Amino acid sequence: MAVVTGASSGIGAATARALAAAGYQVVLGARRIDRVNALAEEIGGLGRQLDVTDEASVEAFVAGLDRVHVLVNNAGGAKGLDPVATADLDDWRWMWETNVLGTLRVTKALLPALVDSGDGLIVTITSIAAIEAYDNGAGYTSAKHAQGVLHRTLRYELLGKPVRLTEIAPGMVETDFSLVRFEGDQERADAVYQGLDPLSADDVADVISFVATRPPHVNLDQIVIKPRDQASARRNVKTG
Ligand code: 8X3
């Protein structure tokens, strides 16, 4: 069984599809229950409502999931692109709650089921923002760094237990990521990906499916995946 958070759209939805195609029974979690149910039906999986910022919601989500082979921590995102000098505290709170504490809550709750499976895998979708800092991005880069460190710490703490850990750190992927970051401003979101060839959610899901189908002794620790047109968070074919 594979569990995917943030499975209603983007990388999460594409990953749920890819893991189902690889033969997994997939449990899809997201706040938008109609969307996860529709996708679950399409791929023969199970949709369940999940708000990773809410302890009770996480508890209800994991109830009855006793043996989990794969957990994909995908729920998260960015809000705003502001310099530290004018940082919006609510945006920061949202980013830390979803990316960092959300990953912590779900991972903690499913850890016993992952160990009990005898061959567990935790895939956490961070970002190149978990590795680099960039101007106006501190709310997001700090949250992604923290999420990355949480995940990498577990790699040490679980040594000797039958659980693998893979961090996937994508660069530009065309999903509704920028639409959320810019609060629904479609023009501004589109401009991010115009003039270059970004990754698609399927490109990333393909790699996650590869990771999940390696034999149990093979641990892909960290995978950075960017479009050819992007060399770093701050440099792409448009910026030069
Ligand atoms: C987002 C990475 O390169 O779009 O996680 O800022 S990038």
Each residue of 196-231: pLDDT tens digit? Answer: 999 999 999 999 999 999 999 999 999 999 999 999
pLDDT tens, position by position, 132-191: 999 999 999 999 999 999 999 999 999 999 999 999 999 999 999 999 999 999 999 999
CA–centroid distance, 64 to ligand 1, in Å, is 35
| Residue among 169, 171, 149 at smallest CA distance from 104 | 149
Does a structural domain hold residue 40?
yes
> What is the pLDDT, as a whole number, of residue 149?
98
Taking CA atoms only, the protein residue closest to ligand 1 atom 2 is 171
226 CA: nearest ligand 1 atom = 3
Instruction: Tell me how far apart the alpha carbons of residues 15 and 151 are, in angstroms, rounded to a whole number.
Output: 19
**E-assigned strand segments in the chain:** 2-5, 26-30, 46-49, 70-73, 120-125, 163-170, 222-225
Taking CA atoms only, the protein residue closest to ligand 1 atom 4 is 172
CA–centroid distance, 96 to ligand 1, in Å, is 16
> What is the pLDDT, as a whole number, of residue 146?
99
Does a structural domain hold residue 233?
no
Does a structural domain hold residue 238?
no
Taking CA atoms only, the protein residue closest to ligand 1 atom 6 is 233
Entry pTM: 0.97
> What is the pLDDT, as a whole number, of residue 239?
95
Instruction: Tell me how far apart the alpha carbons of residues 99 and 146 are, in angstroms, rounded to a whole number.
Output: 9
Does a structural domain hold residue 196?
no
> What is the pLDDT, as a whole number, of residue 155?
98
CA 92 to chain centre: 18
Mutate which of 79, 142, 168, 173 to test ligand 1's pocket (most atoms within 8 Å of Cβ)?
173
Does a structural domain hold residue 27?
yes
**Which residues are bridge partners to 30 per DSSP?**
49
Q: How confident is the model at residue 31 (pLDDT cuts 50, 70, 90)?
A: very high
Does a structural domain hold residue 79?
yes
Taking CA atoms only, the protein residue closest to ligand 1 atom 5 is 127
Instruction: Tell me how far apart the alpha carbons of residues 150 and 138 are, in angstroms, rounded to a whole number.
Output: 18
Does a structural domain hold residue 232?
no
Does a structural domain hold residue 237?
no
CA–centroid distance, 13 to ligand 1, in Å, is 18
| Residue among 11, 130, 31 at smallest CA distance from 72 | 11
> What is the pLDDT, as a whole number, of residue 192?
94
When pLDDT is averaged across residues 24-43 and rounded to a whole number, the result is 98
CATH of the domain at 69: 3.40.50.720
192 CA: nearest ligand 1 atom = 4
Average pLDDT, the chain: 97
pLDDT tens, position by position, 80-128: 999 999 999 999 999 999 999 999 999 999 999 999 999 999 999 999 9
Mutate which of 74, 127, 144 to test ligand 1's pocket (most atoms within 8 Å of Cβ)?
127
Whole domain around residue 38: which residue ranges?
A: 2-173+201-224
Q: Which residues contact 68 (CB under 8 A, 6 or more apart)?
A: 1, 2, 3, 110, 113, 114, 117, 120
**The total number of structural domains that make up the chain:** 1
Taking CA atoms only, the protein residue closest to ligand 1 atom 3 is 171
First to last CA, the chain: 44
CA–centroid distance, 163 to ligand 1, in Å, is 28
- Ligand 1 neighbours, Cβ below 6 Å, are 127-129, 171-172, 233
* 156 tagged catalytic: no
> What is the pLDDT, as a whole number, of residue 115?
98
